[in-house]
């Protein structure tokens, strides 16, 4: 049985792992944080959970739409008209989709959480060993490696292939400051989801988490809102103190609605340094046949079904993960 290492348990890495396991390969999935999901993230708090990464996605290709229908039948995602036409969200939270994908993988998946891969080293006589951030060399010996992390972080891991590494270095992700805020009174804004329609300089969009499809009612809970700053404002204020980010975004929100907001019962901020890729690469994924080293994630697969269309980040992660898994399955024999 061939052994494949997948680095990163976001939607792209989970997709590679699922496809390769189904094809009979032995997969080890390395994830630096405490659980799978990556930017399909949910933050727990005393006021309830917040989907503070991707708030949802809109399938655009026929292949992804068919996959989403399967997830919908399984109850892992649901349509959420409150967020906009065609929007789909994880149920009961965005991170639940990744949790379901991870647990739905065939038993035997070796998922190593809190394991940060720092570098790839050649194995002997062939293949790969993984150097971890704490300096240890992982015991595994792998026939192929799939790197499924944001482009800027992938560049270092892909150093053994100078052109793949350069492709990732040239790919730019935009940052996003995100504020999670809750009010205990039954405060209702005139909208449940709001997207800036003018050239707003601070806020890009806002959604009300507790009112979304499939969110369980929490007794006595607050109304929970997630505010996203624009990429430009986020880039200009990467080092701002979280308390100042919270104040700036909530003030901009109140101004946009023309209301006075009471002090919130909960407020937190998170800076996504690599939130979204505005210009993904055209190739479905990256693959070096002789090194048996590949890359996938939202930096890849810019092409949709229709000419000129670009699928969203969640969809690109899935499409490119699937493309890389198929490439690896063609190249690496099961024996
Ligand atoms: C605020 C925000 C809003 C968004 N809005 C939308 C939207 O509306 N629609 C949409 O389609 N997309 C949206 N996105 C983008 C979408 O979330 C991503 O494009 C998609 O989730 C990327 O998946 P991925 O698997 O490629 O990467 P990720 O989800 O980033 O997964 C990579 C994983 O790799 C792990 N990792 C990184 N380095 C290492 C290492 N060295 N060793 C081990 N593990 C490592 C990370 O911890 C992470 O879990 C949004 C993202 C953010 C942050």
Q: CATH number, domain at 224?
A: 3.90.660.10
Map tokens 């007794």 to a residue.
Answer: 219
Do 22 and 101 share a structural domain? Answer: yes
Answer yes or no: do 162 and 253 share one domain: no
Residue that terminates a domain, selected from 234, 256, 276: 276
In the prediction, which pLDDT does 188 show?
A: 65
Please indicate, yes or no, whether residues 195 and 209 belong to a single structural domain of this protein. yes
Task: Name which residue sits closest to atom 35 of ligand 1, judged by CA.
Answer: 8
Residues 292 and 320 in one domain: yes
| Same domain, residue pair 242 and 124 | no
CA distance 5 to 28: 5
Domain of 115, CATH number, reads 3.50.50.60
Q: How far apart are CA 31 and CA 8, in angstroms?
A: 5
Same domain, 149 and 162: yes
Please tell me the distance from the alpha carbon of residue 230 to that of residue 203, in angstroms, as a whole number: 5
Residue 153 alpha carbon, nearest atom of ligand 1 = 38
* C-alpha of residue 172 to centroid of ligand 1, in Å: 14
Low-confidence ranges of the chain (pLDDT < 70): 105-107, 186-190, 197-199, 218-221, 335
Residues in the chain: 335
Ligand 1, atom 14: closest residue by C-alpha: 54
pLDDT score at 74: 94
Q: What is the pLDDT of residue 202?
A: 94
Do 268 and 210 belong together in one domain?
Answer: yes
Q: CA-to-CA distance for 202 and 249, rounded, in angstroms?
A: 7
pLDDT at position 116 is: 98
- Same structural domain, 24 and 105: yes
Does residue 122 share a domain with residue 30? yes
Helices marked H in 23-124: 62-74, 94-104
SS3 of 71, please? helix
Query: What six digits make up the tokens of 267?
Result: 């407020």
Shared domain check, 208 and 138 = no
For 269, the domain range is 43-92+174-276
Split into its structural domains, the chain has a count of 2
Q: What are phi and psi of 285, to 5 degrees?
A: -165, 175
Q: From the CB of residue 102, how many other CB atoms can be counted at a distance below 10 Å?
A: 21
Residues lining ligand 1, Cβ inside 6 A: 7-13, 30-33, 38-40, 53-55, 57, 116-117, 148-150, 153, 176, 178, 228, 272, 275-276, 297-298, 312-315, 317
Q: Kindly state whether residues 100 and 182 are assigned to the same domain.
A: no
Same domain membership, residue 163 and residue 21: yes
Distance 136 CA to ligand 1 centre (A): 26
Domain boundary among 276, 292, 313: 276
φ, ψ of residue 157 to 5 degrees: the values are -70, -30
Residue from 134, 298, 302, 309 to probe ligand 1 pocket by mutation (most atoms less than 8 Å from CB): 298
pTM (whole model) above 0.75: yes
Q: Which of 9, 32, 54, 98 to mutate to test the pocket of ligand 1 (most atoms within 8 A of CB)?
A: 54
């Amino acid at each position: 049985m061939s052994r494949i290492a997948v680095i990163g348990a976001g939607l792209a890495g989970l997709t590679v792992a699922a496809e390769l396991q189904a094809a009979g390969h032995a997969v080890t999935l390395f994830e630096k944080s405490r659980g799978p999901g990556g930017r399909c993230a949910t933050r727990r708090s005393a006021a309830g959970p917040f989907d503070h990464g991707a708030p949802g996605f809109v399938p655009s290709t026929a292949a992804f739409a068919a996959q989403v229908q399967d997830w919908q039948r399984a109850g892992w995602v649901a349509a959420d008209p409150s967020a906009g036409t065609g929007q789909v969200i994880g149920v009961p939270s965005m991170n639940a989709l990744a949790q379901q994908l991870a647990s739905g993988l065939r038993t035997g998946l070796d998922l190593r959480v809190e394991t940060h891969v720092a570098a790839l080293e050649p194995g002997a006589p062939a293949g790969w060993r993984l150097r971890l951030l704490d300096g240890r060399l992982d015991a595994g010996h792998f026939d192929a490696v799939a790197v499924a992390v944001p482009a800027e972080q992938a560049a270092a891991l892909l150093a053994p292939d100078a052109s793949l590494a350069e492709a990732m270095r040239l790919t730019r992700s935009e940052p996003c400051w995100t504020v999670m805020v809750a009010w205990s009174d039954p405060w209702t804004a005139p909208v449940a989801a709001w997207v800036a329609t003018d050239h707003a300089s601070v806020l890009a969009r806002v959604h009300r988490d507790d009112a979304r499809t499939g969110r369980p009612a929490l007794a006595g809970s607050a109304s929970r809102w997630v505010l996203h700053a624009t990429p430009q404002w986020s880039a200009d204020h990467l080092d701002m103190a979280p308390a100042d980010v919270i104040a700036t975004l909530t003030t901009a929100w109140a101004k946009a609605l023309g209301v006075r907001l009471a002090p919130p019962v909960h407020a937190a901020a998170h800076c996504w340094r690599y939130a979204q890729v505005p210009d993904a690469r055209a190739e479905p994924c990256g693959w070096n046949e002789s090194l048996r080293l590949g890359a996938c994630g939202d930096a890849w697969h810019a092409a949709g079904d229709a000419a000129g269309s670009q699928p969203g980040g969640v969809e690109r992660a899935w499409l490119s993960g699937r493309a890389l898994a198929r490439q690896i399955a063609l190249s690496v024999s099961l024996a």
